[in-house]
């Protein structure tokens, strides 16, 4: 099929196949892709606003035994700069964050075998009780699998206990690229693709909402990307539990994986990926632009290539900061960036409910 | 096809395709539009019409001889006063030390120094040319030229001529900021205004210097002021055709106090400004995405929003984090090449006048940048190849250096590379006549012995054909001189005849050059002599391309020709406006050309090959640019 017919088909609301997706991945006219993706975006999310969440992204521990080659963040437990915070310390951090207007805490950490399951439960429970302004968006699939190992409970039972403690959304990290060939190379001690999908499935079936991420621009092939997209599209058909898809490109600095990759994924590839995910993932409500990994300017451009969400304001962000790619941002600045891209900015919560809309042309200072 | 979200842009798109100028109101509508992708698509279309997939860069270096300046413009955090501890002054020797023979261009601007003598400036240009003859000097903004004129009590003309004499080739575009008295009063009231800036560039163009133009945006200017700025530049370009490129510069707040330090222009504003400049400045060949300011990432995106030039290795120092054997400049160059390739464009290393030096890309198809190759390309929709358009001779140089995998190239250039290339059965053939390879002459052709003939600097084969005709048919001895020949400019009164080809030749059809009352179609002369068609160009392909690739290309060309000649209304008004011919005339012109090579054509190629090899390679050409 001609590429333009594939695009037409997608515009008509028909689902595109994996072969067609492969063709799009090899199609380098990003303006054509962007035009279609932007049109689909405006059908799915007709409001002329871009959503964002006021969040913070702290870590409770950087101790990890998984040794993923793309990770610049983790330490082994005996290294001098290894840390693990107590629940009290974390609650204090959340309280400070709440005072600054933060509504969501995206919390992830290393997979630290010394932490008992009770630590995690307490963290969720006390957050709900002591800092009710904050929505806990805690723990990637790797940590959940870690909890299952530490506690001897099944993944499903871990999720049930966490849910009882008050958790109802989890972040989509840890997916990297759902290809066991790649995973064996870059994160061989981490779970398989099936493990990631399985945690997500169980979570969705229990009523959790989650996001899905994809890290590209390392050693994956186009086929790996398609497998990834196909897997999450199928799971979404089954459960409907995904809120948003967040592709981001691998940043090599300070990581062991760096040696095996010649360069960053180009901004072209990123915009192509945003557009293609909007076109292919017809059952995902939102596509998120990852300005913190791609840079603010490219983040803004992505909003015209199919993304309708600008992610979080990230009051504190350790994972990327450690990779020498510091892009801190305040709520004001995020609103400014969205306005600069030509949209109104809508503050949302973790479940994508709109809290407040900041119109373009209205002085932000007065309204924040 | 563009699927406009903003319907207000549709009439603008029609104008763009017709080659009409956009109005002030169009400019405002574009800046007010939220339909960024459609604006980008229009600009990208025009960009490709003008430059195909080429994106240019130059190996260059920036020199700022001093930061001491008599003025203190508000947005400038570069200049200091003489007694400041940060003040510096460079001697000519220290400038020379910063240069190296790899460079093709040096960009010099600096503060307006209160004490330096005129000789210093002239000497600087002269010494650079003496030590580095390959380096072209781009120096001194209009602000500096104005300052020299006042300080040294010379007219603008004298200043420019003395610098030109010393070796200056172009003026940079700085100092234009934004053409608005309002902004000038608020931000740089001691600096020259629009009138003076335009006057200086006009004078420079008249004296044979070329220049660039800039726009500083993203401070306190309005969109009306931006559009107005572009229109004034377009007007001057219409008059002089002296601008090489236009560079929108995003304002960098720094410590200027005009905006918060970290409040940069939005990426969308950057892309729109580049795209809209491309659309409004339809008489500018090149629009630059200045990567040092835009960020590498956004500059890469801009290459699909109308920009076809990345400036150069300037600023390379800043990205040279990897110590080692590679020079910072080489690093910067590699980086630019990667960015451009990532954007699916052809990195074209150029000189100061945009003459291509080297293409850094695979899968390049060369295209003679004339209307007559349209039937091959109009429907050639293949994304595996990138298209590089250039006049025959320039394409020939690149072809001979192995920069091009396939393409329509001038016949004699193909002859020179027959070992490495073969040809597909397509070409550009004048059957009895061709209408676009014309010798205009003051005398009948029989009287051209010992005369001076100007030859367009674009020709490869046509010039050789002229030589064969005059020397072997008529037995004449003639002096040829290469010249830029264009229908816009005054025609070469000092010559007895001149050879023009391609689109320039078409422009003369309705605009006959005065005094040159005789005109000869070279295809006609060849036919009268040999009773054969003349093949000006062939579709050459590298012999070592995989056979299946060659077959695919063969099929693609066959399809595009069939589609072109079976489709009505193929000729966009873009061409009629550009060539000053109506649609019917253009159709007749293309229908008169043969695009497929048959037996007669092959016979003619073989015959001409014999003549070509007999041509004594005597140094008849005086190269003059
Ligand atoms: S990515 Fe997560 S699991 Fe892998 S090493 Fe880093 S912290 Fe551990
Ligand atoms: S004239 Fe140029 S160098 Fe001098 S203050 Fe103004 S902008 Fe700065």
> How many structural domains compose chain B?
2
| Nearest residue in chain B measured CA to CA from A263 | B338
Cα A185 to Cα A181: distance, rounded to the nearest angstrom: 7
Q: Is A216 in the pocket of ligand 1 (CB under 6 A)?
A: no
- B350 and B370 co-located in one domain: no
Mark yes or no for CB contact B2/A35 under 8 Å. Answer: yes
Range of the domain at A315: 33-367
| Nearest residue in chain A measured CA to CA from B305 | A31
In a domain, A166, yes or no: yes
- The continuous run of DSSP H or E covering B225 comes out as helix B223-240
Q: Is the pLDDT of residue A365 over 60?
A: no
In a domain, B443, yes or no: no
Q: Is A255 in the pocket of ligand 1 (CB under 6 A)?
A: no
By the 8 A CB rule, do B192 and B146 touch? yes
Mean pLDDT, chain A, integer: 90
Instruction: Write down the pLDDT at residue B322.
Output: 39
Higher per-residue confidence, B617 vs A270: A270
Instruction: Write down the pLDDT at residue A105.
Output: 95
| Cross-strand bridge partners of residue B610 | none
- B291 and B412 co-located in one domain: no
**pLDDT cut 70: percent of chain B above it:** 93
Interface pTM, i.e. ipTM:
0.90
- The continuous run of DSSP H or E covering B541 comes out as strand B534-542
Indicate the residue of A35, A38, A300 with minimum beta-carbon distance to B267.
A300
Q: Is A60 in the pocket of ligand 1 (CB under 6 A)?
A: no
By the 8 A CB rule, do A270 and A237 touch? no
In a domain, A331, yes or no: yes
Cα B3 to Cα B564: distance, rounded to the nearest angstrom: 24
By the 8 A CB rule, do A287 and A244 touch? yes
Mean pLDDT, chain B, integer: 90
In a domain, B493, yes or no: no
Residues 300-319, chain B, touching A (beta carbon < 8 A): 300-301, 304
- B390 and B244 co-located in one domain: no
Instruction: Write down the pLDDT at residue A366.
Output: 39
> Strand B518-521 relative to strand B437-441: parallel, antiparallel, unpaired?
antiparallel
- B250 and B383 co-located in one domain: no
pLDDT band of B261, cuts 50, 70, 90: low
Instruction: Write down the pLDDT at residue A327.
Output: 46
Instruction: Write the CA distances from B378 to B63, B75, B496, B549, integer angstroms.
Output: 44, 47, 38, 20
In a domain, A5, yes or no: no
In a domain, B95, yes or no: yes
Q: Is the pLDDT of residue A322 over 60?
A: no
Q: What is the distance, to the nearest Å, from the Cα of residue B351 to the centroid of all Cα atoms in its chain?
A: 10
By the 8 A CB rule, do B255 and B261 touch? yes
Specify the pTM: 0.90
Residue-by-residue DSSP string for B299-318:
HHHHTTTT--EEEESTTGGG
Instruction: Write down the pLDDT at residue A333.
Output: 87
Sheet with B421-430: list strands edge to edge: B386-390, B364-368, B406-410, B534-542, B421-430, B594-596
Give per-residue pLDDT as tens, A126-182.
Answer: 999 999 999 999 999 999 999 999 999 999 999 999 999 999 999 998 888 888 888
In a domain, B317, yes or no: yes
pLDDT band of A363, cuts 50, 70, 90: low
Give the CATH number for residue B211. Answer: 3.20.20.70
Give per-residue pLDDT as tens, A270-315.
Answer: 999 999 999 999 999 999 998 888 889 999 999 999 999 999 988 7
Q: Is the pLDDT of residue B623 over 50?
A: no
Cα B442 to Cα B463: distance, rounded to the nearest angstrom: 18
Instruction: Write down the pLDDT at residue B491.
Output: 64
Residues B349-372 have a mean pLDDT of: 93
Residues with CB under 6 A from ligand 2: B 69, 71-73, 76, 78-79, 111-112, 143, 191
- B236 and B123 co-located in one domain: yes
pLDDT band of A324, cuts 50, 70, 90: very low
Instruction: Write down the pLDDT at residue B616.
Output: 57
Q: Is the pLDDT of residue B221 over 80?
A: yes
- B265 and B390 co-located in one domain: no
- B208 and B127 co-located in one domain: yes
| Cross-strand bridge partners of residue A247 | A214
**pLDDT cut 90: percent of chain A above it:** 71
Indicate the residue of B36, B40, B343 with minimum beta-carbon distance to A268.
B343
Residue-by-residue DSSP string for B388-400:
EEE-HHHHHHHHH
Instruction: Write down the pLDDT at residue B326.
Output: 57
- Residues of A in Cβ contact (< 8 Å) with B343: 266, 268
In a domain, A3, yes or no: no
In a domain, A89, yes or no: yes
Residues B269-284 have a mean pLDDT of: 97
Residues A339-354 have a mean pLDDT of: 96
- Domain end, chosen from B357, B385, B404, is at B357
Tell me the two tokens of residue A299.
Answer: 């983040």
The whole-angstrom distance between B45's CA and the closest CA on chain A is: 11
- B269 and B410 co-located in one domain: no
Give per-residue pLDDT as tens, A30-88.
Answer: 999 999 999 999 999 999 999 999 999 899 999 998 888 888 889 998 899 999 999 99
Mark yes or no for CB contact A300/B44 under 8 Å. Answer: no
- Domain end, chosen from B357, B378, B406, is at B357
Give per-residue pLDDT as tens, B286-306.
Answer: 999 988 888 889 999 999 999
Instruction: Write down the pLDDT at residue B148.
Output: 97
Residue of A65, A43, A57, A297 lying closest to A171 (CA atoms):
A57
- B334 and B405 co-located in one domain: no
Mutate to test the interface with B, among A266, A327, A360 (most CBs of B within 10 A): A266
Residues B327-339 have a mean pLDDT of: 83
CA geometry: angle B451, B456, B462, nearest 5 deg: 85
Residue for token digits 């002269």?
A: B126
Q: In terms of DSSP H, where are the helices of A131-221?
A: 141-151, 155-165, 180-186, 193-205
In a domain, A8, yes or no: no
- B316 and B227 co-located in one domain: yes
- Residues of A in Cβ contact (< 8 Å) with B9: none
Q: Is the pLDDT of residue A100 over 90?
A: no
Tell me the two tokens of residue A151.
Answer: 């506690």
Atom 4 (ligand 1) nearest CA: A68
Range of the domain at B373: 361-429+535-579
In a domain, A15, yes or no: no
Mutate to test the interface with B, among A43, A301, A324 (most CBs of B within 10 A): A301
Return the minimum-mean-pLDDT range out of A8-22, B316-330, B453-467: B316-330
In a domain, B388, yes or no: yes
Instruction: Write down the pLDDT at residue A290.
Output: 87
Residues B516-533 have a mean pLDDT of: 96
Give the CATH number for residue B376. Answer: 3.40.190.10
> How many structural domains compose chain A?
1
Indicate the residue of A28, A38, A271 with minimum beta-carbon distance to B344.
A28
pLDDT band of B624, cuts 50, 70, 90: very low
- Domain end, chosen from B329, B357, B385, is at B357
Ligand number, closest to the Cα atom of B256: 2
Higher per-residue confidence, A72 vs A213: A213
Q: Is the pLDDT of residue A355 over 90?
A: yes
Give the CATH number for residue A132. Answer: 3.20.20.70
- B155 and B15 co-located in one domain: yes
- B321 and B381 co-located in one domain: no
Cα B603 to Cα B600: distance, rounded to the nearest angstrom: 5
Residue of B170, B272, B300, B176 lying closest to A266 (CA atoms):
B300
């Amino acid at each position: 099929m001609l590429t333009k017919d594939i695009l037409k088909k997608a515009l008509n609301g028909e689902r595109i196949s994996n072969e067609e997706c492969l063709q799009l991945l090899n199609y380098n006219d990003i303006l054509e892709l962007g035009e279609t993706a932007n049109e689909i975006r405006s059908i799915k999310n007709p409001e002329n606003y871009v959503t964002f969440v006021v969040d913070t992204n702290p870590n409770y521990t950087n101790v990890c035994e998984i040794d993923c080659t793309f990770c610049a963040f983790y330490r082994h437990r005996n290294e001098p700069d290894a840390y693990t915070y107590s629940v009290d310390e974390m609650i204090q951090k959340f309280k400070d964050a709440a005072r600054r207007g933060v509504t969501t805490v995206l919390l992830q950490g290393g997979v630290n075998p010394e932490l008992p399951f009770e630590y995690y439960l307490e963290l969720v429970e006390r957050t709900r009780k002591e800092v009710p302004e904050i929505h806990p968006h805690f723990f990637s699939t790797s940590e959940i699998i870690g909890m299952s190992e530490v506690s001897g409970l099944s993944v499903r039972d871990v999720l049930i206990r966490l849910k009882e403690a008050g958790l109802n959304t989890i972040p989509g990290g840890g997916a990297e690229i759902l290809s066991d060939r790649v995973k064996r190379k870059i994160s061989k001690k981490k779970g398989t693709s099936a493990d990631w999908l399985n945690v997500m499935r169980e979570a969705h079936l229990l009523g959790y909402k989650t996001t899905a991420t994809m890290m590209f621009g390392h050693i994956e092939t186009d086929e790996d990307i398609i497998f990834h997209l196909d897997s999450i599209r199928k799971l979404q058909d089954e459960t409907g539990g995904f809120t948003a898809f967040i592709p981001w490109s691998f940043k090599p600095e300070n990581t062991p994986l760096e040696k095996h990759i010649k360069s960053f994924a180009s901004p072209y590839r990123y915009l192509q990926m945003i557009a293609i995910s909007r076109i292919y993932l017809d059952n995902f409500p939102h596509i998120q632009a990852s300005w913190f990994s791609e840079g603010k300017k490219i983040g803004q451009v992505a909003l015209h290539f199919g993304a309708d969400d600008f992610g979080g304001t990230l009051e504190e962000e350790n994972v990327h900061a450690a990779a020498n790619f510091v892009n801190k941002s305040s709520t004001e600045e995020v609103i400014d960036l969205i306005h600069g891209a030509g949209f109104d900015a809508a503050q949302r919560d973790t479940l994508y409910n709109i809290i407040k809309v900041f119109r373009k042309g209205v002085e932000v200072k007065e309204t924040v | 096809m563009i699927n406009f979200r903003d319907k207000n842009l549709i009439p603008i798109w029609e104008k763009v395709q017709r080659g009409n100028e956009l109005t002030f109101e169009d400019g405002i509508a574009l800046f007010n539009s939220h339909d960024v992708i459609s604006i980008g698509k229009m600009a990208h279309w025009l960009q490709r019409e003008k430059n195909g997939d080429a994106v240019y860069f130059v190996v260059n270096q920036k020199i700022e001889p001093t930061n001491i300046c008599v003025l203190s413009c508000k947005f400038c955090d570069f200049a200091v006063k003489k007694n400041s501890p940060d003040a510096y002054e460079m001697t000519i020797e220290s400038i020379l030390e910063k240069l190296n023979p790899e460079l093709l261009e040096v960009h010099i601007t600096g503060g307006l120094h209160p004490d330096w003598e005129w000789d210093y400036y002239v000497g600087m240009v002269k010494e650079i040319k003496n030590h580095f003859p390959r380096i072209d000097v781009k120096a001194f903004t209009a602000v500096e030229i104005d300052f020299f004129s006042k300080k040294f009590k010379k007219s603008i003309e004298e200043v420019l001529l003395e610098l030109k004499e010393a070796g200056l080739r172009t003026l940079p575009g700085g100092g234009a900021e934004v053409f608005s008295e309002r902004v000038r009063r608020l931000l740089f009231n001691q600096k020259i205004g629009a009138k003076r800036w335009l006057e200086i560039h006009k004078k420079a163009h008249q004296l044979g210097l070329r220049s660039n133009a800039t726009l500083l945006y993203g401070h306190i200017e309005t969109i009306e002021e931006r559009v107005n700025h572009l229109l004034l530049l377009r007007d001057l370009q219409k008059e002089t055709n002296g601008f090489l490129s236009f560079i929108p510069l995003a304002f960098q707040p720094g410590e200027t106090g005009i905006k918060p330090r970290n409040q940069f222009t939005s990426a969308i504003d950057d892309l729109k400004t580049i795209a809209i400049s491309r659309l409004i400045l339809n008489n500018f060949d090149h629009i630059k995405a200045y990567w040092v300011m835009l960020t590498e990432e956004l500059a890469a995106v801009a290459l699909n929003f109308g920009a076809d030039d990345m400036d150069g290795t300037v600023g390379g120092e800043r990205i040279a984090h990897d110590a080692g054997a590679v020079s910072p400049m080489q690093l910067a160059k590699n980086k630019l090449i990667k960015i451009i390739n990532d954007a699916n464009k052809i990195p074209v290393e150029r000189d100061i006048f945009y003459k291509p030096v080297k293409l850094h890309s695979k899968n390049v198809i060369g295209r003679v940048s004339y209307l007559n190759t349209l039937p091959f390309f109009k429907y050639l929709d293949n994304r595996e190849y990138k298209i590089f358009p250039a006049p025959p001779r320039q394409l020939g140089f690149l072809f001979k250096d192995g920069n091009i995998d396939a393409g329509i190239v001038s016949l004699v250039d193909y002859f020179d590379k027959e070992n490495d290339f073969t040809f597909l059965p397509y070409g550009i053939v004048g059957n009895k006549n061709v209408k676009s390879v014309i010798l205009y002459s003051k005398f009948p052709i029989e009287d051209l012995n010992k005369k001076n003939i100007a030859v367009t600097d674009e020709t490869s084969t046509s010039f050789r054909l002229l030589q064969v005709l005059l020397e072997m048919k008529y037995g004449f001895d003639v002096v040829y001189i290469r010249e830029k020949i264009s229908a816009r400019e005054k025609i070469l009164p000092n010559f007895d005849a001149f050879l023009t080809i391609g689109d320039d030749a078409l422009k003369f059809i309705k605009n006959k050059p005065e005094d040159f009352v005789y005109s000869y179609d070279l295809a006609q002369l060849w036919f009268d002599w040999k009773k054969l068609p003349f093949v000006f160009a062939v579709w050459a392909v590298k012999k070592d391309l995989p056979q299946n690739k060659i077959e695919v290309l063969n099929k693609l060309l066959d399809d595009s020709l069939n589609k072109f000649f079976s489709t009505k209304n193929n000729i966009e008004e873009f061409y009629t406006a550009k060539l000053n011919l109506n649609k019917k005339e253009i159709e007749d012109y293309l229908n008169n050309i043969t695009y497929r090579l048959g037996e007669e054509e092959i016979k003619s190629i073989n015959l001409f090959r014999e003549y070509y090899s007999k041509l004594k390679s005597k140094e008849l050409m005086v190269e003059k640019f």
